[in-house]
Structure 1
Amino acid sequence: MVEREDSHPDDRSARALRSFLAVLWSMAVDEDSYTDGYPSWLEPELKSRRQDSAPAGPGASALQRVLGCGVDPDDLTDLVREMQHEVLYNVCQLIDDPGLLGIGMDHEGSRPPEFRWELVAVRDEEPTGRVPVHGLHSSLDELDPSGRHGEPRGRPIPARLPGQPLHARLAVAHARAGDRIRAIATWRKATGATVTEAKAAIDLLLDRAGVEPGSAPGAHSE
């Protein structure tokens, strides 16, 4: 009988780990999703402001006041995502080992936690095939969909080029900002390409995005 590809417990545990962390990351704001030039996660608040209607709640009201002060929406996205990343990482530590958060440490007068937690993957078609999942906090950043391993995106913001790797999006952003030298250096560091190869690749992406290689349009000119 041929065994299933993922029949080994370690293989199933690794798959379950990746699946769980992918779901966690999907709960963070999508940096690359924009609606009418603004981050899509802000759309409900922006829509109610445009329609001059009351915001949905205190959080929405606070967002409208912040946006009304002229704060860059991309800065809000960066702040929210950084806080979300911290929460996700702490949850992963809590499941892996509460001691990583200082919970139940052997301090004078402290008591051990009443409960400990563990993540177990279960398949509906395999009721007895429970697989423990470990190493959440140490793997979270490896599966960061942005490719930055949990680090903030910095400036300039990588260009919104679906399907392109981070180095390409960042190189195009530098080029759009008028910093061709840094754009080429970014590409070469990631790929090992020559200067000529890097320049040609960047120009091709700029051309596909409808931007002249020598121009430097604004950040939202996609």
Structure 2
Amino acid sequence: MTDDQRELFLTDLWSLVVDEDELVDGQPSWIESFFRGTPAGEIPAGPTSAALHRVLAAGVDPDDLTDVVRTMQHEIIHNVCQLLDDPRMLGIRGERRWTLTVDGDPVDELHSSLDEHDPSGRHGEPRGRPVPARLPGQPLYARLAVAQARAGDRLAAVRTWRAATGDTTVAAKTAINALLGDASD
């Protein structure tokens, strides 16, 4: 077994995990793929597509949903690697053993190397995103921008505001400052 074989397998596993940065029409691409072909304003026919539609209609941030899905997918591929390395790590007892081979050579030590191949560079950890500020009546982008500003990242706050509204940098700063003033009252 070579390290190259292990790397190829782990890279292939990570390629199956949703891409958190790929967008189609402003939606994470994995979500958009469930709605593709559904006319605007209609509820998708498939049960998973319909469930996604309901979750998003309830106001869940698509990026938060992507973080949850990606974390669960990471856990699954990590468990598959443990199952192949040693089922006892998962509490599975018995004589059954699985072996991944390439051209007859075993590929092992998968679970301990998995996170090194995370394309995000975060070693399987979710994105660190601010929790939206509590500002009743304000849209999500405003609550996120205020949370980012409070955390000391004014540049991210302005980017968040501008991406959602199309405002100029000056207008975004003014609006965020006004909300920061309201939030501290």
With structure 2 as the length reference, what TM-score do the two structures score?
A: 0.70
How far the C-alpha of 1:38 sits from its partner, in A, is 1.2
How far the C-alpha of 1:55 sits from its partner, in A, is 1.9
Which position in structure 2 is the counterpart of 1:119?
Answer: 100
Post-superposition Cα deviations, 1:193-215, rounded to whole Å, max 9, x if no partner, equal xxxxxxxxxxxxxxxxxxxx798
How far the C-alpha of 1:48 sits from its partner, in A, is 5.0
- Aligned counterparts, 1:54-69, within 5 A: 54-69=43-58
Question: Is residue 217 from structure 1 mapped to residue 164 from structure 2 by the alignment?
Answer: no
How far the C-alpha of 1:154 sits from its partner, in A, is 1.7
Question: Is residue 25 from structure 1 mapped to residue 14 from structure 2 by the alignment?
Answer: yes
Instruction: Find the residue that maps to 1:120 and give its secondary structure.
Output: strand
- Aligned counterparts, 1:1-222, within 5 A: 9=1, 13-47=2-36, 50-104=39-93, 112-113=94-95, 115-122=96-103, 130-156=104-130, 177-178=148-149, 216-218=158-160, 221=163
When residues 62 and 20 of structure 1 are mapped into structure 2, their CA distance, relative to the original with a 3 A threshold, is: same
How far the C-alpha of 1:35 sits from its partner, in A, is 1.1
* Partners of 1:34 and 1:72 in 2: CA distance: 14
* Partners of 1:100 and 1:145 in 2: CA distance: 25
Instruction: Find the residue that maps to 2:5 and give its secondary structure.
Output: helix
How far the C-alpha of 1:77 sits from its partner, in A, is 0.2
With structure 1 as the length reference, what TM-score do the two structures score?
A: 0.59
Letter aligned with residue 221 of structure 1: A
When residues 214 and 102 of structure 1 are mapped into structure 2, their CA distance, relative to the original with a 3 A threshold, is: closer
Instruction: Find the residue that maps to 2:73 and give its secondary structure.
Output: helix
When residues 97 and 73 of structure 1 are mapped into structure 2, their CA distance, relative to the original with a 3 A threshold, is: same
- Which structure: larger Rg? 1
* Partners of 1:31 and 1:220 in 2: CA distance: 20
CA-based RMSD: 2.8
* Contact 1:141–1:149, Cα closer than 8 Å, also in 2: yes
Letter aligned with residue 123 of structure 2: H
* Partners of 1:57 and 1:25 in 2: CA distance: 26
Post-superposition Cα deviations, 1:59-78, rounded to whole Å, max 9, x if no partner, equal 11110100111110001100
Post-superposition Cα deviations, 1:14-53, rounded to whole Å, max 9, x if no partner, equal 0000000000000000011011211011113444555344
Q: Which has the higher helix share?
A: 2
